[in-house]
Structure 1
Amino acid sequence: MELIQDVLSIFAERSAFFVQLTVEHLWISGAAIGIAIVLGGAAGIMIHKYERAAAPTLGTVNFLYTIPSISMLGFLIPFFGIGNRSAIIALTIYALLPMVRATHTGLSQIPPALVEAGGSLGGTALHVLTRVQIPLAMPVIMSGIRNMATMTIALTGIASFIGAGGLGVAIYRGITTNNPALTIAGSLLIAILALVMDGALGQVEAWLKRPARISGTPRAAYAGAAAALIVAVSGVTYGFFGRADIVHIATKPMTEQLIMGEMLKLVIEHDTGLEARITAGVGGGTSNIHPGMENGVFDIYPEYTGTGWNMVLKEESKYNEDLFPRLTEGYEQRFAMSWVGMYGFNDTFGIAVRREIAEKYDLHTYSDLRRAAPQLTFGAEYDFFERADGFPALCKAYGLDFARTVDLDIGLKYQALANKQIDVMIVFTTDGQLAAADARVLTDDQGFFPSYRCGNVVRAEVLDRHPELDAALEKLTDKITDEEMAAMNYAVESEGKEPRAVAEEFLHGKGIV
Structure 2
Amino acid sequence: MINKIFEEISSNSSFYLNLLKEHIVITFTAVIIAVVVGLSIGIFISQKPKIAGYFISVVGIAYTIPSIALLGFLIPLTGIGNTTAIIALTIYALLPIVRSTYVGITNIDPKIIEASRAMGSKESQTLFKIKLPLAFPVIYSSIMNMVTMTIALAGIASFVGAGGLGVAIYRGITTNNDVLILIGSFLIALLALTVDGFLSLLGKVISSHKLKKLANKKMKIALVSLIIIALLSSVLYQRGRNDSIEIASKPTTEGYILAEIVGELIKNGTSLDANITHGIGGGTSNIHPAIVKGDFDMYPEYTGTSWQIVLKKTNPYTNEQFDELEKEYRKQYKLTWKGMFGFNNTYSLGIRKDLADKYNIKTFSDLAKYAGDFIFGAEYDFFEREDGYNALADAYKFQFKKTVDMDNGLKYQALYDKKIDVMTVFTTDGQITNPRIVVLEDDLGFYPKYMAGMVVREEILKKHPELNAVLEKSNGLIDESTMATLNNKVEIEQKNPSDVAKEFLREKGLLEE
Relative to the length of structure 1, the TM-score reads 0.97
C-alpha deviation, 1:440, in angstroms: 1.1
Deviation at 1:204, TM superposition (A): 2.1
One-letter code of the match for 2:262?
L
Letter in 2 for 1:96: L
Aligned to 1:384: 382
Tell me which amino acid in the other structure corresponds to 1:427.
V
What's the counterpart of residue 6 of structure 1?
Answer: 4
Q: Spell out the pairing of 1:164-175 with structure 2 (5 A cutoff).
A: 164-175=162-173
State the distance in 2 between where 1:20 and 1:226 align: 26
Q: 1:217 to 1:309 in 2, by over 3 A?
A: closer
Cα 1:226/1:403, change in 2 over 3 Å? farther
- String of CA shifts for 1:451-501, please: whole Å, max 9, x gaps: 100000000110110111011001100010101000001111111111111
The residue that corresponds to 1:18 in the other structure is 16
Bigger CA drift: 432-441 or 231-240? 231-240
**Contact 1:138–1:220, Cα closer than 8 Å, also in 2:** no
CA distance in 2: counterparts of 1:30 and 1:318, whole angstroms? 48
3-state secondary structure, aligned to 1:301: strand
Q: Is the 8 A contact 1:331 1:337 kept in 2?
A: yes
Following the alignment from structure 1 to structure 2, what is the Cα–Cα distance between the partners of residues 212 and 192? 28
1:220 positional shift: 3.5
- 1:151-170 to 2 correspondence within 5 Å? 151-170=149-168
Q: 1:224 matched to which residue of 2? A: 223
**Structure 2 gap segments, 5+ residues each:** none
Residue identity in the other structure for 2:161 = G
CA distance in structure 1 between the aligned counterparts of 2:420 and 2:413, rounded to whole angstroms: 10
| AA at the equivalent of 2:203 | E
User: How big is the shift at 1:207?
Assistant: 2.7
Q: Is the 8 A contact 2:41 2:98 kept in 1?
A: yes
1:48 aligns with 2:21: no
Q: 2:108 aligns with which of 102, 107, 110?
A: 110
Amino acid at match of 2:22: E
Match in the other structure for 1:512: 510
Question: Which secondary structure does the structure 2 equivalent of 1:422 belong to?
Answer: coil
**In structure 2, do the counterparts of structure 1 residues 379 and 470 end up closer, same or farther at CA, with 3 Å as the change threshold?**
same
Q: Which amino acid aligns with 1:231?
A: A
Aligned to 1:235: 234
Say which of 465, 479, 482 aligns to 1:481. Answer: 479
Other-structure match for 2:182: 184
- Of residues 430, 433, 436, the one that matches 2:431 is 433
Correspondent of 2:307 among 269, 285, 309? 309
What does residue range 77-116 of structure 1 map to in structure 2 within 5 Å? 77-116=75-114
Query: 1:212 Cα deviation (Å)?
Result: 7.9
In the TM superposition, residue 109 of structure 1 has moved relative to its aligned partner by 1.8
Distance 1:18 1:243 in 2: 22
Deviation at 1:264, TM superposition (A): 1.0
CA contact (8 A) 1:41 1:99 kept: yes
Task: Please say if residues 131 and 214 of structure 1, whose CA atoms lie closer than 8 Å, have aligned partners that are also in contact.
Answer: no
Q: Separation in 2 of the partners of 1:40 and 1:396? A: 52
The DSSP-based 3-state class of the residue aligned with 1:20 is helix
Q: Aligned with 2:343: secondary structure?
A: strand
State the SS of the aligned residue for 1:39.
Answer: helix
Q: Deviations over 1:74-95 (max 9, x none)?
A: 0000100011000000000000
- Find the counterpart in structure 1 of residue 251 from structure 2: 253
Greater displacement, 120-129 / 73-82: 120-129
Matches within 5 A, 1:283-432: 283-432=281-430
Provide the rounded CA distance (Å) in 1 between the counterparts of 2:195 and 2:221: 18
Distance 2:211 2:194 in 1: 30
Q: Retained in 2: the 8 A contact 1:132–1:214?
A: no
**Which amino acid is 2:135 matched to?**
A
For normalisation by structure 2, the TM-score amounts to 0.97
1:246, CA displacement in angstroms? Answer: 2.1
**One-letter amino acid matched to 1:121:** M
Identity %: 49
For 1:239 and 1:257, how far apart are their aligned partners in 2? 23
Secondary structure at the residue paired with 2:398?
Answer: coil
CA distance in 1, matches of 2:182, 2:449: 37
Equivalent residue for 1:496? Answer: 494
The whole-number CA distance in structure 1 between the counterparts of 2:403 and 2:295 is 34
Per-residue displacement from partner, 1:164-190 (whole Å, max 9, x unpaired)? 000000000111111101110001000
What is the CA–CA distance in structure 1 between the aligned matches of 2:426 and 2:90, rounded to whole Å?
A: 38
Q: Is the 8 A contact 1:33 1:227 kept in 2?
A: no
Instruction: Report the counterpart of residue 198 of structure 2 in structure 1.
Output: 200
Q: Is the 8 Å Cα contact of residues 414 and 437 (structure 1) preserved in structure 2? A: no
Q: Relative to structure 2, which stretch is displaced further, 258-267 or 110-119? A: 110-119
> Within 1, Cα distance between the matches of 2:236 and 2:497?
27
Backbone CA RMSD of aligned residues: 1.6
Per the TM alignment, residue 232 of structure 1 is displaced from its structure 2 partner at its CA by: 2.7
Q: Is the 8 A contact 2:173 2:181 kept in 1?
A: yes
**Aligned-pair distance for 1:146?**
0.6
Residue by residue over 1:138-168, the C-alpha shift from the partner in whole angstroms, topping out at 9 and shown as x without a partner, is: 1111111111111001000011011000000
The match for 1:142 is: 140
Q: Distance in 2 between matches of 1:260 and 1:440?
A: 26
Cα deviation, residue 210, structure 1 = 2.9
Instruction: Name the SS of the counterpart of 2:445 in structure 1.
Output: coil
Structure 1 Cα separation of the partners of residues 508 and 213 of structure 2: 73
Corresponding position of 2:449: 451
Aligned-partner residue type, residue 254 of structure 2: E
SS in 1 for 2:53: helix
Change (3 A) 1:316 1:217: closer
For 1:174 and 1:216, locate their aligned partners in 2 and report how far apart those are by CA, in whole Å.
45
Contact 2:352 2:422 in 1 (8 A): yes
- CA positional deviation for 1:71: 0.3
Distance in 1 separating the partners of 2:330 and 2:3: 50
Q: Look up the match of 2:31.
A: 33
Q: Quick check: 1:65–1:94 contact (8 Å CA) kept in 2?
A: yes
1:117 is displaced (CA, Å) by 1.7
Q: Superposed, which structure 2 residues align to 1:269-284 within 5 Å?
A: 269-284=267-282
Deviates more, 1:56-65 or 1:213-222: 213-222
Change (3 A) 1:370 1:196: same
Distance change >3 Å, CA 222–CA 421, structure 1 → 2: farther
Measured against aligned partners, the alpha-carbon deviations of 1:238-291 in whole angstroms (never above 9, x if no partner) come to 229x85342100000111111111111110111111111000011110011001
- In 2, the alpha carbon distance for the partners of 1:9 and 1:157 equals 23
Count matched residues: 510
The secondary structure found in structure 2 opposite 1:343 is coil
